[in-house]
Structure 1
Amino acid sequence: MSSMTPPAPDAEGSLFDGDPVDLPAQERGALPKAFRAPDEEFDRVPPQDLGAEQSVLGGMKLSKEVIAEVIDILDGHEFYRPAHETIYRAIVDLYRAGEPADPITVAAELTKRGQLAQVGGASYLHTLVQAVPTAANAAYYAEIVRDRWKLRKAIETGTRVTAMGYRQDMDPGEVVEASAAELLALQASFDTGKDPSGWDTPMQDLIEDWEDDQTAGEDPGLPMPYADLQTMLCTVPGHLVVFAGRPGMGKSVTLLDLVRHLAIVHGRPAAFVSLEMARRQIMNRLICAEAEIPQHDVRTRRMSKEQWNRYYKVRQRIVDAPLRLIVPPGGITVPQIRSNLRRWQIEDRLPAALAVDYLQIIKPDLQGRGGNRTNEVDAIARGLKELALEFDIPVFAAAQLSRQTTGRDSKVPQLSDLRESGEIEQAADAVVLLHREDYYEPASERAGEIDLIVAKNREGSTGNVVCGFRGRFSKIEEMGA
């Protein structure tokens, strides 16, 4: 690759008037030789539009209103030429200080910073203004600058992914996972726009949105199989609801009840991610609950004729339900869940709710490996809440309680019993603790009952919902149902 030097400033001090292909290799950002095909042994110029960059800067120096528009689109790092980013930051700093940003004031600011010569001198600043007949199209040119930056970022990410593929010391699964994380991070960096966080949303707009919601009719929240719990929680998109209990207390039964009710009864898409049961086990429980066939008879394949008849009555209802049962081989991380939700979103197949069984056995992502367990679980809890907000769906997650409950006189669980993490309680919009007295005392007078203790509820009251636990059918029912 030949070494080329950039043209020197002319007498007027202007720079880079020639074709961009004359830029030096380090500014062109050519791909490493190892990643080029045999017929690609030449220097590639990354996507850029110097004319658009010059038009943006020229327009900004013509109108302060244009500066405000461009700031909403560009941060400064999107410029291909470093000199243009330097000029942009000087203009923005003057604007934020309430000073005019014309060629003279910008030149003075750059002189004060010792940067005027490196951007091409005062005459180049005047050239930028003279080359733009009107400031009206500056925002349009800013979008072009941003689009070219996105393409360069995509190339950079692709190069890193390619480099990982060539590594011999990485497990293929880790390569795929790390590559997916790179691409998701790239997508996240692009998911920005004007007013991404509501910084400039007027109260008038917010109050009108609120009024529209209130006059749209009653919204009881996501349909749940237990009416009292639905009334208390009023679960809506963006919520993370944690159902916590000791092993065997009924966490999986509860989550499967929720998605089964949503998909089979109400015909709304739902997804159930299981990290501790095989798909056949989940199907056994699903059919037992719908057809009310004892789990033992299904598991041992000793169904009677009458039980087969009950199964056939519900078979088509199950087949038609928009329910997805996911059992990831080798476990799953939060970024992998996000990747699949993103794919479903693109395919317009996003579920109305996602259930994960259970939180503490989600794998920490690659960046979290080597850390302590509490930090890993904290990151997983925060990640699930972020998924709920990002995809605007409720996420239900089972969580394990510690053994502290078994060592107390009162076995009723508390929020402090959440195992390995205080972040679970913090991240969740609601925490429901599961408790059955017959779990500890089989002869209890409350045998067959389960308490759904709403111990935390950001958007409503706390309290206790008592239901019937029909473990042999793998289902929970409202009392008296």
Structure 2
Amino acid sequence: MTEHDMTEPDWASEAETNAPPHDREAEMAVLGAMLLSRSVIDPIAAILSDAADFYMPRHQTVYRTITDLYARSRDPKIDTITVAAELLATGELAKIGGAAYLHTLVAAVPAVSSATYYAEIIRERAQLRTVLEATRRATSRALTAALTAAEILDAAMADLQAAATGTTTTDVRLSVSDRWMGFVDELEAGADPRALDTPWMDLNEVVELKPGQLVTVGAATGGGKSLLGMNLAAHIALTRSKPALVASMEMGGSELMARLTAAESGVVLDRLIRRRLDQSDWEKVFKAAPRLQNAHNFILDDSPNLTIGKIRARMRWMASTGNPPAIVVADYLQLMTPENAKPNANRANEVAELSRGLKLLAMEFEIPVIALAQFNRGAAGRQPVVTDFKDSSAIEQDSNVIVLMHRPLNEDGTADDNRAGEIDLIVAKNRNGASGRVIPLIFQGHYARLRSMGRGI
């Protein structure tokens, strides 16, 4: 019996030739290189998503052990002896074939300098296995008719997108142990690195846009909610250089571009809409042109009859192009079309379904979703409350944050001359911070923008 026979388990022989795509030699070479040189661990970890990229279970165990040891101290000692000791301590040494197998891995390295190339082979094979598993699940669902055709297609697209972007829908780490070090890193950094800010510093003191949040912004008709949504998305895309998606059912692409150009250039919006620019206007447009002309990461989707499914498909398309959205603005909630809309359906139930759908989108893609929503007519002329949303009370329940927009008026309903050109953002709900705060902003409707006043109430 040879050393190879002693170290290879039964499942690595004939059955392996009929196994899903993988490359045993590449897996061995990567692990051996990591045991030989600590300098290749970071580049390899940057290519591989996690231990599950390795097909062979014992290779997953060795990779996980090496990376755990590497992350444990500032000057880790990684070699066959230290890794064998760690595997012995965790009771997994025998499972991988003993300490002798670690030396087999080292001997299997053609060149340490090619370690990242071997890692790319492993990642490619892992993606192929993910594609095969996605098609298998889709086929099973179709044969059993467990879901509707649209639901099966949507699930298949999610699985295939996971393969394309290197994520997974099955390997989820949820324990406190898994989450702890990342949370400590955030505490040391003094901020959540995944959180987004707004262009209004006073609002940032109260609200932080976090992954998985549904943030609902309500206003009366013509109350400035679309303006706020565009300003926020432009801030994320143009100032923070993160991909942003505006799904608009309120305006067409031309009007959206006019508002964006007005806000960025300082040209009066009415002149842009009417296409009546003078020389000074053109100079402002040309000055803003480089910033807007290169905004490839800022997507304005004005497709008719937008549904949750269409927005999800657009988000996946952005991810497939290398620009997964950091924020989504839906303008506005009550104009969206429900999936499988039925005649004479209860509109309140439909809006509740849409609200819940946007919340699930935020959680699925781990980004903040901003839902703009309209008030009932009864809210006109007074300070709004969370029960004023049109057609649904579910909005309050689904939202992590609710911001209500209000133009200050006198008791008789006329404009308040003392606060002309101002608008209040009322933080009516805030699960991660203070609620009840009122943030006044400068309302520059002629430039399609809101400006911070530098103070809060």
Per the alignment, residue 154 of structure 1 pairs with 138
Kindly indicate whether residue 156 of structure 2 is the aligned counterpart of residue 181 of structure 1. Answer: no
Question: Which of 444, 452, 459 lines up with 2:417 in the alignment?
Answer: 444
Kindly indicate whether residue 377 of structure 2 is the aligned counterpart of residue 416 of structure 1. Answer: no
SS at match of 1:243: strand
Per the alignment, residue 231 of structure 2 pairs with 257
Q: Distance in 1 between matches of 2:425 and 2:130?
A: 51
Contact 2:247–2:311, Cα closer than 8 Å, also in 1: no
Amino acid at match of 1:155: T
Equivalenced residues, count: 322
CA shift for structure 1 position 348: 2.4
Question: 1:153/1:279 Cα in 2 relative to 1: closer, same or farther (>3 Å)?
Answer: same
Q: Distance in 1 between matches of 2:156 and 2:285?
A: 48
Amino acid at match of 1:208: M
Question: 1:256/1:136 Cα in 2 relative to 1: closer, same or farther (>3 Å)?
Answer: same
Larger radius of gyration: 1
Percent identity over the alignment?
33
Structure 2 counterparts to residues 385-404 of structure 1, below 5 A: 385-404=359-378
CA shift for structure 1 position 363: 0.4
Structure 2 counterparts to residues 372-391 of structure 1, below 5 A: 372-391=346-365
CA shift for structure 1 position 303: 1.2
Per the alignment, residue 180 of structure 2 pairs with 207
Contact 2:375–2:390, Cα closer than 8 Å, also in 1: yes
**TM-superposition CA deviations, 1:437-476 (whole Å, max 9, x none):** 2595235321100000000000001201100001111111
Which deviates further from its counterpart, 416-425 or 241-250?
A: 416-425
SS at match of 1:311: helix
Question: 1:147/1:298 Cα in 2 relative to 1: closer, same or farther (>3 Å)?
Answer: closer
CA shift for structure 1 position 228: 1.2
Contact 2:246–2:299, Cα closer than 8 Å, also in 1: yes
Per the alignment, residue 312 of structure 1 pairs with 286
Q: Distance in 1 between matches of 2:301 and 2:132?
A: 39
Question: Which of 295, 301, 308 lines up with 1:326 in the alignment?
Answer: 301
Per the alignment, residue 270 of structure 1 pairs with 244
SS at match of 1:225: coil
Contact 1:359–1:399, Cα closer than 8 Å, also in 2: yes
Question: 1:368/1:217 Cα in 2 relative to 1: closer, same or farther (>3 Å)?
Answer: farther
Contact 1:438–1:448, Cα closer than 8 Å, also in 2: no
**TM-superposition CA deviations, 1:207-261 (whole Å, max 9, x none):** 3332122113434831311011122111111111111010100000000000111
Q: Distance in 1 between matches of 2:407 and 2:224?
A: 9
Question: 1:188/1:260 Cα in 2 relative to 1: closer, same or farther (>3 Å)?
Answer: closer
CA shift for structure 1 position 347: 3.2
Per the alignment, residue 458 of structure 1 pairs with 431
Q: Distance in 1 between matches of 2:344 and 2:144?
A: 23
Amino acid at match of 1:375: N
SS at match of 1:252: helix
Q: Distance in 1 between matches of 2:131 and 2:322?
A: 25
CA shift for structure 1 position 323: 1.0
Q: Distance in 1 between matches of 2:337 and 2:299?
A: 21
Kindly indicate whether residue 274 of structure 2 is the aligned counterpart of residue 300 of structure 1. Answer: yes
- Structure 1 residues not aligned, in runs of 5+: 1-50, 53-72, 74-134, 138-144, 162-177
Contact 1:357–1:398, Cα closer than 8 Å, also in 2: yes
Per the alignment, residue 193 of structure 1 pairs with 170
Structure 2 counterparts to residues 24-423 of structure 1, below 5 A: 151-155=135-139, 179-186=149-156, 192-193=169-170, 196=172, 198=174, 201=175, 203-219=176-192, 221-321=195-295, 322-328=297-303, 330-366=304-340, 371-406=345-380, 411-423=382-394
Q: Distance in 2 between matches of 1:367 and 1:296?
A: 37
Amino acid at match of 1:451: D
Amino acid at match of 1:449: E
Q: Distance in 1 between matches of 2:136 and 2:197?
A: 46
Contact 1:435–1:452, Cα closer than 8 Å, also in 2: yes
Question: 1:357/1:208 Cα in 2 relative to 1: closer, same or farther (>3 Å)?
Answer: same
CA shift for structure 1 position 373: 1.0
Question: 1:148/1:473 Cα in 2 relative to 1: closer, same or farther (>3 Å)?
Answer: closer
Q: Distance in 1 between matches of 2:454 and 2:177?
A: 48
Q: Distance in 2 between matches of 1:303 and 1:192?
A: 51
- Structure 2 residues not aligned, in runs of 5+: 1-17, 20-51, 53-94, 98-128, 161-167
Q: TM-score when scaled to structure 1?
A: 0.60
**TM-superposition CA deviations, 1:350-399 (whole Å, max 9, x none):** 11111110011110001666531111111111110111111111111100
Contact 1:181–1:335, Cα closer than 8 Å, also in 2: no
**TM-superposition CA deviations, 1:306-330 (whole Å, max 9, x none):** 11111111111111222111101x3
Q: Distance in 1 between matches of 2:293 and 2:183?
A: 39
Contact 1:180–1:339, Cα closer than 8 Å, also in 2: no
Q: TM-score when scaled to structure 2?
A: 0.63
Per the alignment, residue 6 of structure 2 pairs with none
SS at match of 2:205: helix
**TM-superposition CA deviations, 1:396-447 (whole Å, max 9, x none):** 11001111223xxx60000111111121111111000000025952353211
Q: Distance in 2 between matches of 1:146 and 1:301?
A: 51
State the superposition RMSD in angstroms. Answer: 3.4
